[in-house]
Amino acid sequence: KAGVTQTPRYLIKTRGQQVTLSCSPISGHRSVSWYQQTPGQGLQFLFEYFSETQRNKGNFPGRFSGRQFSNSRSEMNVSTLELGDSALYLCASSQSDRAKAFFGQGTRLTVV
Amino acid sequence: DAKTTQPTSMDCAEGRAANLPCNHSTISGNEYVYWYRQIHSQGPQYIIHGLKNNETNEMASLIITEDRKSSTLILPHATLRDTAVYYCIVRAPNSGGYQKVTFGTGTKLQVIP
């Protein structure tokens, strides 16, 4: 069974640009969560989607948004990039609310 | 959400058992305790989870105190590959279909040859 796939693995963007990151969950998993990881703040929850509906959102500005498609694949978008958005963005999928989550390898975003 | 408290770092000799503690004194009755670990620059990896009873799988054992206010993750025979940051997480109740996971700062386990 293929794991959680995140694309791209690495990305360099300029301040002010926008970026879209993609996550393909494990087949059959309907829940997808996104996290931001930085050295200073650690792992922080961004949002979670289940059956195309956002069910929870972390404490991030509106520049961070996401969506989930009918095949459970998910994207997150960050607009008007700031230097502080440089981070490892992780996606996790799970089968049900309380199931163990499987993480992808992440997308490392660098904003210059 | 219930918060967790873990030591910042721990050392363990290779081949010995690594015991990683976690305090979650505000845990509510229907919240589960999950453990994940993150090896440098990789995505976190699920290890084990439990509600009340002790749990064991091929990777580790989870001991939860009777009052559920703390737990211990046990790696029975630590190897160098177990060097990682270990996160203890308490899942919020599934109220109305909502779920939120809060990661703390974790414990950096260094396995020493």
Model confidence at B14: pLDDT above 70: yes
pLDDT tens per residue, range A44-94: 889 889 889 998 888 899 999 999 999 999 999 999 999 999 999 999 998
Residue B96's pLDDT band (boundaries 50, 70, 90)? very low
Distance of alpha carbon A25 from alpha carbon A78, whole angstroms: 20
Residue range B64-77, pLDDT digits in tens: 999 999 999 999 99
Q: Are the beta carbons of A97 and B94 separated by less than 8 Å?
A: yes
**Whether residue A21 has pLDDT greater than 80:** yes
pLDDT band, very low/low/confident/very high, at B95 (cuts 50, 70, 90): very low
Q: Which residues of A touch B42 (CB under 8 A)?
A: 105-106
Both structure tokens of B25: 């004194």
Q: Which residues from B are below 8 Å from A44, CB to CB?
A: 103
- Put simply, whether A46 touches B (Cβ < 8 Å) is no
Q: Which residues of A39-74 are buried (b: 16+ CB within 10 A; e: fewer)?
A: eeeebbbbbbbbeeeebbbbebeeebbbebeeebeb
**Residue B94 pLDDT > 80, yes or no?**
no
Residues B32, A18: Cα–Cα separation, whole Å: 37
Confidence category of residue A101, pLDDT binned at 50, 70, 90: confident
pLDDT of B102 > 80? The answer is no
Contact A103 B97 (CB under 8 A): no
Distance from CA of B101 to the nearest CA of A (A): 7
Look at A54-68, A88-102, B12-26, B79-93 and tell me which has the smallest mean pLDDT.
A88-102
Contact B99 A48 (CB under 8 A): yes
Rounded to an integer, the average pLDDT of B1-24 is: 92
Phi, psi of B28 (to 5 degrees): -100, 170
Instruction: Give which of B99, B100, B102, B105 to mutate to test A binding, by max A Cβ within 10 Å.
Output: B99
Find the mean pLDDT for residues A93-111: 86
Interface test with B, best of A38, A43, A49, A94 (most B CBs within 10 A): A43
Please give the residue of chain A at the shortest CA–CA distance from B102. A45
Give the pLDDT of residue A25: 96
Position B29 confidence tier, pLDDT thresholds 50, 70, 90: confident
pLDDT of residue A99: 61
Determine the residue type at A99.
A
**Measured between CB atoms, does B86 come within 8 Å of chain A?**
no
